[in-house]
Chains A and B, each alone.
Chain A
């Protein structure tokens, strides 16, 4: 690994769904006219139909693999190839229940395909780059130049530096401008945490512990783990601060500004309580804000403390996006932070209260520009890394965030979706996660292996990086750093000419 890691060297491998039946967009119905001739299995290149050797009957169609109506124009389409016209294609009504306006069913399906294949979907029936929220990133599009300078994909760098202070601390570079957000042990399962860390190591980027301690099993990935220091200080010890290259202060979360982290009693299982050294079964509420930080000079002192304990690590300050987020950012810069991480209101798992999500913090797309411009006016922009999160769902969101002024982004939900999260929103309950991601229940947490999850994440990161490189090529840029703050490359579809 290390600084010179090239995204092109990352190994991707097909990692299919854990489930035979994902929530499919289409439904193939096979009528009684079928004679089990097997023509469909031979003709379909996507594996919808299978007729295993020695069986009498064709298997029921694997609907999620079907590319839908666009197939009808193709020669091999099963509908036309079937000698008995026994097959019919329709939209699956269940598909409508998947997702929501921000995370549409298409986007979830697209992310699943990326996690499975390592590439963006080839089919054209999925609008996986933008959602349907009616605003924000969903209304922004790229303005690609007609004749961009010719750039070879191999020349394009997606790496960014995280330490721009020139203060003698670790010169940390990440190879792709994305890293994983903080999710504590307790909020997610151990295999989820480990696979996130392992993937971070593969991609030479980072993941974050969240506020629930630093499981020893993550130690092989120390160089790619961010120790989060949040208001409850759960599991934070000097050792866990000393072993990493980045320490993140979580002041607030965009999904629920004004509230600390919380883990309801059901999720506070024996292993979680042990890690946090708290009492099993008791709901754990982190305070808001830090009891030791009520002002900017307290904040500086807080950062100085971390720097004292770890003389080489970078300090990241994660804040939500209140109206004066620009002041907060510049204050953090003056207090000595290397990374300003602004977290908008669109993020958060199902555990964040609905009343807070999307209703308090400023939308991230406003906040990024506000902070970027303010830091520029202060003359401080070049000395600090600006990371955005809270609603970065796709590679396109990432690129838009960078165009608006961020250097990179932190993602949370997208990682969980690659592990086949269906966004049912039951994350707060102990046995609520049917996918075994957001649970430390001893049975649910074993629903997938670390190997499977790591590969899914690696594939998804690969697909994003692939898209990012493609976009940079279309802009004729050699580095993602050229993209920062280029709002001129975006247009709002309601106002574009």
Chain B
């Protein structure tokens, strides 16, 4: 018997005592997950905002939070106790068993360094909860020496390190509590919410943010916060046993999705003496991680491989050594690999390596939404969420707490599930920096250990400082003055943007802030300059160029403040002005009327609008359109959905500019209008789109243009999974980056040379250091492109011929003809105009200008 077997075997006796379990009646599908890890401990308030933002991903029938890495003083224990002791959090659904649990399971086994009942609000109903959350007893404990000795002897675990044996004891002891007071009872009485070191899990029947309120964690600090909004579909849930996060020992796991192979994993776990007691797939995931990490002692990479196996062409791209190991892992554990849509966020106290970790893993088909983000500087924060707006909400909240944080992350990205490129997982690890400061340092890596970095040597503007007007500023002021004096606003905009871009390299933080402030000042002083100021600032935020000494995210932050201020200062719809702008917000939404006088552009402050339903800004926009408005600027978006939906047919001449975190389904169904998204966009954009134009100055999310019939779209960055799936007719799209996978599956867009549709895929990105264009290793690393397509074409920029026939399932490669080039040229020209991605640059390979035929390949249906 090997060592792992002995550990598992040690559980046999009490496992026999587990009574037959009734299947869990609470079924769920999706939910919202969010988590972040910060180099400094931050308060529970900060998980409040993103949780509240994801209300529409839950239904208020289950919420939970996890937190890792505390401040000893706040808990009234020493650093040594906090680091060394297990923190038992026992949920008492029935308070009368408290003494019994303590007498039977705690006192005889543990030395208790501290015990307390968690503080709560007096009345749960005061925050709208319908079910009283459980009382929580917290114990800081170590296993008594003699108890542990006996355990080791009795179970034959003498080969184990003493601490590992202690871990196992704690695991088994909690299991017994859960069996006795939870699983075996019709009336549940108590269960262990978490028992890991320096971490806790709290869950309630209600929205996750109410955990923070009820247990009074607003000012309680931790390095990692994790939250989960649950969506159980059955009505009455009266205790939070089935809520996330789940934990086996030193981790807290939340999950969005569900497994199709719950039963097979259940068997797999049972064969290894793991008995799920709460009967949700999420618990299984936590148990799998525990098995692999604590019993089998797999490194993280192998655990991720076991969860989300590398397959198809991605497997072929691995090195032979990796293939050998991965194949062994897959052979042993494929039965435990969760099948179906899932996305995990795991907060972990990695006690072995002395670090805290926040990990995100997606399933291989990337069926759930996921966004990662990183912000570095004096303080660092890594974030993982279902939706980008939850990330932005977290950052905004963090800024309020500590001005060293900023509202825009340095980097946002998605993982490509089960891939050879990133492995479908990213890990934020927080360790002591090792220097004298005693600070912690956050490092982000992918599954393979490759570090994700942001430029290290760039400055961040401190926007709390006043802007000084020094000598250098005078020159800037003079220049800008001259540009604004230009008669033609478009020329003015072009000159302003060019001037700042060219001089940016020499700018320090003050010069940049001065320049932006000056642009705004022109708008303040003369309404005619509003448009020029808005256009210039927008382009300076959207485009990629060398931002010199300053971080791009900081430049964007400075510009965002100025733009928001310009929009905020626009006259409200209730006021009178001769401006072409008029502003409306949630409070004045009822005052919507036809445009008066010179009014042309309706500026909508989206902040207080609901994400969907009758109080969604999308409804207001439709109403405004019906009253005669055609131009819209929507700002301060925080995930509101359906922008541009509901206008009806033939909306040529309508233009919507979108700022902030726009939401799902934007432009879905549009027929003629133009929508400009200034920043990254979310999921389900342009579904069934018929005609019109979408421009995104960033990435787009899942199932972009699903079932689209036509229209054009320009994407500056990447598309996530399944773009243009099932699209028909004549959609015409330029994606400058790449797509995660399944691009143009079942594409049916006729013959592009005879009015049909196509995608131009450029496979390029931008260097963070200087904003210059760089080629990706492969324009399309995914294993499936143009699968089962019967019409349309993909024009892929692939001068190195990286794409292989293996990636096509039903398509074939062709040389592009002159007619093909003539067809796509106007789209590349527009792409150049919009994003400053020049055709010259696209046709340049290794510093040599090539012909279109040498650079682009055409993928079309096999004849």
Given contacts A295-B258, A331-B29, contact A279 B750 (CB under 8 A): yes
Given contacts A241-B669, A284-B748, A308-B616, contact A292 B641 (CB under 8 A): no
Given contacts A285-B746, A287-B726, A308-B646, contact A292 B684 (CB under 8 A): yes
- Which of A140-148, A155-163, A296-304, A351-359 lies at the interface with chain B? A296-304
- Which of A31-39, A83-91, A194-202, A230-238 lies at the interface with chain B? A230-238
Do the beta carbons of A301 and B233 come within 8 Å of each other?
A: no
Please tell me if A334 contacts chain B, counting CB pairs below 8 Å: yes
Do the beta carbons of A282 and B709 come within 8 Å of each other?
A: no
Instruction: Return the contact of A287 from the options B647, B746, B750 (Cβ within 8 A).
Output: B746
Please tell me if A493 contacts chain B, counting CB pairs below 8 Å: no
Residues of A within 8 Å of B728, CB to CB, are 234, 276-278
Closest residue to B365 on the A side, CB-wise? A294
Instruction: Return the contact of A292 from the options B233, B706, B861 (Cβ within 8 A).
Output: B706
Please tell me if A378 contacts chain B, counting CB pairs below 8 Å: yes
What sequence of 0s and 1s flags, for each residue 191-209 of chain A, a beta carbon within 8 Å of any chain B beta carbon?
0000000000000000000
Given contacts A278-B748, A297-B57, contact A305 B668 (CB under 8 A): yes
Given contacts A276-B728, A297-B29, A379-B235, contact A309 B646 (CB under 8 A): yes
Please tell me if A324 contacts chain B, counting CB pairs below 8 Å: yes
Do the beta carbons of A331 and B612 come within 8 Å of each other?
A: no
Residues of B within 8 Å of A377, CB to CB, are 235
The majority secondary structure among interface residues of chain B is loop
Instruction: Return the contact of A308 from the options B32, B619, B788 (Cβ within 8 A).
Output: B619
For the complex formed, measure the closest distance between the CB of A266 and the CB atoms of chain B, giving whole angstroms: 14
Please tell me if B763 contacts chain A, counting CB pairs below 8 Å: no
For the complex formed, measure the closest distance between the CB of B682 and the CB atoms of chain A, giving whole angstroms: 11
Do the beta carbons of A278 and B341 come within 8 Å of each other?
A: no
For the complex formed, measure the closest distance between the CB of A304 and the CB atoms of chain B, giving whole angstroms: 4
Please tell me if A465 contacts chain B, counting CB pairs below 8 Å: no
Please tell me if B618 contacts chain A, counting CB pairs below 8 Å: yes
Instruction: Return the contact of B707 from the options A232, A310, A334 (Cβ within 8 A).
Output: A232
Residues of B within 8 Å of A292, CB to CB, are 683-684, 687, 702-703, 706
Instruction: Return the contact of A296 from the options B233, B648, B671 (Cβ within 8 A).
Output: B233
A299 to B341, CA, bound (A): 14
- For chain A, the bracket of interface size reads 35 or more
Residues of B within 8 Å of A295, CB to CB, are 29-31, 231, 256-258, 341, 368
Please tell me if B729 contacts chain A, counting CB pairs below 8 Å: yes
Closest residue to B612 on the A side, CB-wise? A304
What sequence of 0s and 1s flags, for each residue 471-485 of chain B, a beta carbon within 8 Å of any chain A beta carbon?
000000000000000
Residues of B within 8 Å of A234, CB to CB, are 707, 728
Given contacts A277-B709, A279-B748, contact A237 B341 (CB under 8 A): no
A178 to B27, CA, bound (A): 32
Instruction: Return the contact of A282 from the options B618, B645, B706, B748 (Cβ within 8 A).
Output: B748
Please tell me if B664 contacts chain A, counting CB pairs below 8 Å: yes
Residues of A within 8 Å of B861, CB to CB, are 279
Do the beta carbons of B56 and A330 come within 8 Å of each other?
A: no
Once A and B bind, how many residue pairs between them come within 8 Å at the CB atom? 161
For the complex formed, measure the closest distance between the CB of A372 and the CB atoms of chain B, giving whole angstroms: 15
Instruction: Return the contact of A277 from the options B30, B258, B702, B729 (Cβ within 8 A).
Output: B729
Considering only CB atoms and an 8 Å cut-off, how many residues of chain B contact the other chain? Answer: 63
Instruction: Return the contact of B257 from the options A294, A308, A379 (Cβ within 8 A).
Output: A294
Instruction: Return the contact of A238 from the options B619, B641, B649, B730 (Cβ within 8 A).
Output: B649
Residues of A within 8 Å of B30, CB to CB, are 294-298
A146 to B861, CA, bound (A): 69
Given contacts A291-B706, A291-B722, A294-B257, contact A309 B645 (CB under 8 A): yes
Do the beta carbons of A301 and B641 come within 8 Å of each other?
A: yes
Residues of B within 8 Å of A231, CB to CB, are 726
Do the beta carbons of A331 and B233 come within 8 Å of each other?
A: yes
A109 to B474, CA, bound (A): 95
What sequence of 0s and 1s flags, for each residue 239-266 of chain A, a beta carbon within 8 Å of any chain B beta carbon?
1011000000000000000000000000
Please tell me if B665 contacts chain A, counting CB pairs below 8 Å: yes
Do the beta carbons of A233 and B233 come within 8 Å of each other?
A: no
Residues of A within 8 Å of B205, CB to CB, are none
Instruction: Return the contact of B664 from the options A301, A309, A379 (Cβ within 8 A).
Output: A301
Closest residue to B649 on the A side, CB-wise? A239
Residues of A within 8 Å of B788, CB to CB, are 285
Residues of A within 8 Å of B749, CB to CB, are 277
A241 to B668, CA, bound (A): 12
Please tell me if A10 contacts chain B, counting CB pairs below 8 Å: no
Which residues of B465-524 have CB atoms within 8 Å of chain A's CB atoms?
none
Residues of A within 8 Å of B671, CB to CB, are 237-239
What sequence of 0s and 1s flags, for each residue 217-234 of chain A, a beta carbon within 8 Å of any chain B beta carbon?
000000000000001111
* Residue among A285, A309, A324, A334 having the largest count of chain B Cβ atoms under 10 Å: A309
What sequence of 0s and 1s flags, for each residue 646-683 of chain B, a beta carbon within 8 Å of any chain A beta carbon?
11110000000000000011001111000000000001
* Residue among A242, A278, A310, A377 having the largest count of chain B Cβ atoms under 10 Å: A278
Which residues of B355-390 have CB atoms within 8 Å of chain A's CB atoms?
367-368
A379 to B730, CA, bound (A): 47
Please tell me if A327 contacts chain B, counting CB pairs below 8 Å: yes
Please tell me if B725 contacts chain A, counting CB pairs below 8 Å: yes
Ranked nearest first, the 10 interchain pairs of A and B with the lowest CB-CB distance are A295-B30, A233-B707, A238-B669, A282-B790, A295-B29, A277-B729, A331-B233, A296-B29, A279-B791, A277-B728
User: Which B residues form the contact surface with A (CB < 8 A)?
Assistant: 27-32, 56-59, 231, 233-235, 256-258, 341, 367-368, 612-613, 616, 618-619, 641-642, 645-649, 664-665, 668-671, 683-684, 687-688, 690, 702-703, 706-707, 709-710, 722, 725-726, 728-730, 746, 748-750, 788, 790-791, 861
Q: 6 new A-B pairs (CB below 8 Å) besides A237-B688, A279-B750?
A: A233-B726, A238-B646, A239-B648, A279-B861, A294-B367, A310-B646
